[in-house]
């Protein structure tokens, strides 16, 4: 994907680091995974890609959120292969994601449950009613990793559903140590399968009436915000997706609390969503950690130590 602005401008907005060969690298603003997003300069324009999500729509939305009014994403262009086989690439990814999710096991008693407990957010996940579709987190004992030549690792699975209608669209994976004491020592430690743009992990059921819903970035951060703010939560999984997220029409989700990460992409995404959702007639507030670079999971971790 290319733009009219420079790679240096985009890298500055997303806090990317210059790497060998002149490109910039860092965390993907769409899927949120470490070191998988790259930007390079070509002909005075920025070109970018994510080796993890490879999701053109989500990446365009993430860049739009990061650049604010500086850029409006163009309509996606289809490749010759996609024109010859409409929807085939996305459909294959979604089919693989469905199979992975269907192979998942209940989280109770699993390393995934122990991981949530180690992060201090298991209580938050259990604190509010689940969606009508049931728990949206599962455990997979041997999920394939996208960057290790087919290695299979234990993983926590999270189902992303399109926020507007609840249709399943993708699966998020957090790769775990065998005992669930933390994330696996692998890069990336998190990955998605399927198109993430417009999807959310419905960690809890949507509240009724004027009751607030917390919408955050990462799963652990959204659950920590749920615990600290006392409201059910959804996770957009990354700042770029949060910044472009469409919601079902009112009266659904009338009152929102955005749990923003305290970094430039997180703050830009929160502000973009606030403007759009207030324009739709919703009540929206932003909650943000005081310490730069923190998310709500960092706050919860420090409180556990105190």
pLDDT of res. 73: 47
Percentage of the chain beyond pLDDT 70 is 86
* Each residue's pLDDT tens digit, 173-205: 999 999 999 999 988 888 888 888 899 999 999
* Each residue's pLDDT tens digit, 132-165: 999 999 999 999 988 777 789 999 999 999 999 9
* CA pair distance 178, 180, nearest whole angstrom: 6
What's the length of the chain?
Answer: 306
* CA pair distance 267, 296, nearest whole angstrom: 13
What six digits make up the tokens of 178? 């065998």
* Each residue's pLDDT tens digit, 35-92: 778 888 777 777 887 766 666 667 777 787 777 654 444 444 444 444 444 456 677 8
pLDDT of res. 77: 43
- From first CA to last CA, the distance across the chain in angstroms is 46
Is pLDDT larger for residue 269 or for residue 84? 269
Over range 217-243, report the average pLDDT.
Answer: 94
Over range 29-34, report the average pLDDT.
Answer: 71
Lowest model confidence (mean pLDDT) among 3-17, 77-91, 194-208, 223-237: 77-91
Residues forming a β-bridge with 49: 38
pLDDT of res. 229: 96
What six digits make up the tokens of 11? 């890298």
* CA pair distance 297, 152, nearest whole angstrom: 27
Angle at 48 between CA 51 and CA 260, to 5 degrees: 80
* CA pair distance 44, 56, nearest whole angstrom: 21
Banded model confidence at residue 280, pLDDT cuts 50, 70, 90? very high
Over range 226-238, report the average pLDDT.
Answer: 96
Beta strands per DSSP E along 121-217: 137-144, 152-162, 168-175, 190-193, 199-200, 212-216
Over range 2-14, report the average pLDDT.
Answer: 74
pLDDT of res. 54: 66
pTM of the entire predicted model: 0.78
Contact 130, 138 (CB under 8 A): no
pLDDT of res. 46: 78
pLDDT of res. 34: 65
Over range 261-273, report the average pLDDT.
Answer: 90
Percentage of the chain beyond pLDDT 90 is 55
Place of tokens 């990317």: 16
Domain residue spans of the chain: 7-70
pLDDT of res. 240: 83
């Amino acid at each position: 994907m290319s733009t009219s602005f420079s790679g240096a401008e985009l890298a500055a907005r997303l806090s990317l680091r210059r790497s060998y060969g002149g490109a910039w690298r860092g965390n993907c603003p769409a899927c949120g995974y470490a070191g998988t997003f790259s930007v390079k300069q070509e002909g005075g324009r920025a070109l970018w890609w994510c080796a993890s999500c490879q999701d053109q729509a989500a990446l365009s939305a993430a860049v739009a959120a990061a650049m604010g009014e500086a850029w409006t994403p163009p309509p996606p262009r289809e490749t010759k292969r996609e024109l010859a086989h409409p929807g085939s690439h996305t459909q294959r990814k979604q089919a693989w994601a469905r199979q992975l999710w269907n192979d998942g096991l209940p989280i109770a008693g699993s390393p995934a449950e122990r991981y949530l407990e180690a992060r201090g957010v298991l209580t938050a996940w259990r604190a509010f009613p689940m969606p009508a579709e049931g728990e949206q987190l599962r455990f997979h004992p041997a999920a394939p990793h996208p960057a290790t030549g087919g290695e299979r690792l234990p993983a926590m699975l999270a189902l992303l559903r399109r926020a507007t209608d609840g249709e399943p669209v993708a699966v998020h994976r957090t790769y775990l140590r065998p005992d669930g004491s933390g994330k696996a020592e692998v890069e990336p430690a998190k990955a998605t399968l399927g198109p993430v743009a417009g999807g959310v992990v419905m960690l809890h059921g949507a509240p009724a009436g004027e009751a607030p819903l917390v919408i955050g970035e990462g799963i652990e951060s959204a659950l920590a915000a749920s615990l600290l703010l006392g409201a059910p939560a959804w996770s957009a999984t990354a700042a770029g997706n949060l910044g472009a997220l469409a919601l079902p029409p009112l009266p659904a989700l009338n009152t929102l609390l955005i749990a923003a990460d305290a970094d430039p992409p997180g703050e830009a995404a929160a502000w973009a969503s606030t403007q759009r959702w207030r324009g739709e007639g919703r009540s929206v507030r932003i909650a943000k950690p005081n310490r730069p670079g923190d998310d709500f999971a960092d706050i919860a971790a420090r409180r556990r130590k105190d």
